[in-house]
Amino acid sequence: VVGGAAKTIPFGGGCSPKLEVKNGNEESFAIINGPCCCVGGLVELCQDIHFDIEDPNSKEKLGKITKKKPAGLEKFQEAFGDHDTFMLELAEKVTDDKVANFIATLLLMDYIFFEGGSPISYNPVDNSCQINCWNCYVLGCLCPCHCSCGGNNEVEG
């Protein structure tokens, strides 16, 4: 086992995501701190979302993970589907086993924070549209903030 990552205890970082990254011996070697409150939804179409990586003891910056905002026509692909681009930047002194762990943690972060569905979805059955404006991160949970429009309450069956 190379290692793993999990939300910090208690409360997963409060109002900003916080992951603890451990090696194969269950020793913490990095903390990943996310942005305050808002991740995912339409927010990810407008700005890069940064997660800083630091040493838990010395607080030295080890790198960062950035979910890149889509450019040009990729915004439509991202708005109605799932098209994510991440950048992983690490200090030169980070060892290969830690790099492997950070790559795996990046995939976990994509699943936790950005795979909750498309920011915009259409339901042809009742002719409604739902827009996920953002996901508010509170005490380790993602709470979607969305609005709905349209819809026919009398669905014929």
Q: Model pTM?
A: 0.81
Residue tagged 């996920």 (tokens)? 132
Residues 6+ apart with CB under 8 A from 10: none
pLDDT of 140 > 70? The answer is yes
Instruction: Output the pLDDT for position 53.
Output: 96
Q: Where is pLDDT greater, at 115 or 53?
A: 53
Instruction: Output the pLDDT for position 118.
Output: 75
The residue count of the chain comes to 157
Q: What mean pLDDT comes out for the span 65-80? A: 81
Residue tagged 């939804």 (tokens)? 41
Q: What angle do CA 43, 110, 39 make, to 5 degrees?
A: 25
pLDDT of 138 > 70? The answer is yes
- Secondary structure letter of residue 12 according to DSSP: G
- Give me the chain's average pLDDT, please: 85
